[in-house]
Amino acid sequence: MAVRTTRSARSALVAWTGALAAAAVASTALVSPARAVPAGEDGRTGHRATQRALDAAVEEGVPGAMARVRDRDGGWTGAAGVADLTTGRARLPQDRYRVGSLTKTFVATVLLQLSAEGRIGLDDTVDAWLPGVVRGNGHDGRTVTVRQLLNHTSGIYNYTADQEFRQKVAGDGFFEHRYDTWRPQRLVALAMSHRPDFTPGASWNYSNTNYLLAGMIVEKVTGRSYATEIERRILRPLRLRATSVPGTDARMPRPSGRAYSTLLDPDPAAALHDVTEINPTVAGASGAMISNSADLQRFYGALLTGELLPERQLKEMMTTVPLGAQLPGYGYGLGLMRQKLPCGTEIWGHSGSIRGSASVAATTADGAHSLTFTFNSDAAGDTAKVVEAEFCG
């Protein structure tokens, strides 16, 4: 299928490509000097380029950065900056953090497992499972498939692009609305109040609404919430004890640091705000999960090596659509992204950005070399530099 990339495609890939959702760079005045761990947990020094990229992120305004690597030589962890600007505590390898859109890979995996069980078809229409939900202003769930939700070719409007909503949950209204509970039906209705981006299948555009709908379909098929299905199908079998779908709980489990944001302020010298506590229903099945780096590496490694999906469904997941001339070398599958780096290495994974947190999980297709890392800010730093430093060195 020929896919045309819309002008917002680059902004949709912000965390993966390194241009974070809030493009402004936060002031470094509040940031303590970097606390580098150049040798990692095992005393080796083979990841100096990755450590330098973490240090650079802190110099650019990220309060704290932390990475974990697994390769044929073993494991390595590195950190820079601090987890908490008030106490000065360093970032720890076991820290948990909000993973944002990495949640999408978990949701897609559940739907592909249901497909393997014959309980749903990837080419079923959305309306077959959620009658009348995708309707209005040109949207029509009778013409959109489950597959198009998962690979972002549905054309359905991205609810987080609504400017009034953005200001309410990520800008001036954040502190008033941070504990609000958002039902997915309400957020989908917000998307339906806008025109679709394009005719289903005609292009590609990242839309968080797609995965709210995917989560609703999981519940319709199974009779259980997407959170329950992720827990019983993925978290328990893989023993991912640091990973959770927090529901309406705004708190972070321990151990964890703090999360910081400029709240959409474009001023490079804008103050950082502590935004650690947030009701994650604002993201729901598109980005509510919490995890740590070790669990994420275990999950993506298990996924790509066939522990979670039969061969046919894994092939479906890794069948990508191109993102267009603006982003050569990128492809998006079913909740999984492919990127060919400048050095020629091909990696698979996803990125995530939610208020105060940016994270990336990337691995080679054979699972032999993987990287997970996180910044505790959504307003500074270049994640692309960390990815290229590790895989291209």
Q: Per-residue pLDDT tens for 302-336?
A: 999 999 999 999 999 999 998 877 688 899 999 99
Residue type, position 125, single letter? T
Q: Does an H or E element contain 346, and which? A: strand 346-354
Instruction: Give me the pLDDT at residue 28, please.
Output: 21
Instruction: Give me the pLDDT at residue 162, please.
Output: 96
Share of the chain above pLDDT 70, in %: 88
Full DSSP string of 198-244: SSTTSEE---HHHHHHHHHHHHHHHSS-HHHHHIIIIIHHHT-TT-B
Residue 74 makes CB contacts below 8 A (sequence gap 6+) with 42, 44
**Pairwise pLDDT comparison (267 vs 6), residue with the higher score:** 267
Question: Residue 148: is its pLDDT beyond 70?
Answer: yes
Residue type, position 334, single letter? L
pLDDT grade, residue 377 (50/70/90)?
A: very high
Helix (H, G, I), strand (E, B) or coil at 356: coil
pLDDT digits (tens, 9 = 90+) for 339-348: 999 999 999 9
Measured CA to CA, the distance from residue 62 to residue 58 in angstroms comes to 4
- Nearest residue to 241 via CA among 280, 296, 306: 296
pLDDT grade, residue 266 (50/70/90)?
A: confident
Instruction: Give me the pLDDT at residue 393, please.
Output: 79
**Pairwise pLDDT comparison (72 vs 298), residue with the higher score:** 298
Task: Give residue for tokens 């827990």.
Answer: 231
Instruction: Give me the pLDDT at residue 160, please.
Output: 96
Mean pLDDT check: name the lowest of 1-5, 51-55, 106-110: 1-5
Measured CA to CA, the distance from residue 185 to residue 172 in angstroms comes to 24
pLDDT grade, residue 379 (50/70/90)?
A: confident
CATH superfamily of 4-392: DD-peptidase/beta-lactamase superfamily (3.40.710.10)
Residue 253 makes CB contacts below 8 A (sequence gap 6+) with 96, 244, 290
pLDDT digits (tens, 9 = 90+) for 28-57: 222 222 333 333 444 445 799 999 999 999
Full DSSP string of 238-266: HT-TT-B--TT--SPPSSB---EE-TT--
Instruction: Give me the pLDDT at residue 268, please.
Output: 64
Plot region of 324 (φ>0 → left; ψ -120 to 50 → alpha; else → beta): left
pLDDT grade, residue 378 (50/70/90)?
A: confident
User: Among positive and negative, which fits the CA dihedral 67, 22, 350, 112?
Assistant: positive
Question: Residue 5: is its pLDDT beyond 60?
Answer: no
Annotation marks residue 261 as catalytic: no
Question: Residue 3: is its pLDDT beyond 70?
Answer: no
Peptide bond into 255 cis (omega under 30): yes
Full DSSP string of 360-388: EEEE-TTSSSEEEEEESBSSS--HHHHHH
- Among 101, 286, 293, 377, which one carries the catalytic annotation? 101
Could you tell me how many residues make up the chain? 393
Say how many C-beta atoms besides its own lie within 10 A of residue 385's C-beta: 18
Instruction: Give me the pLDDT at residue 49, please.
Output: 94
pLDDT grade, residue 358 (50/70/90)?
A: very high
Domain limits, the chain: 4-392
391, 35 Cβ separation under 8 angstroms: no
State pTM to two decimals.
0.90
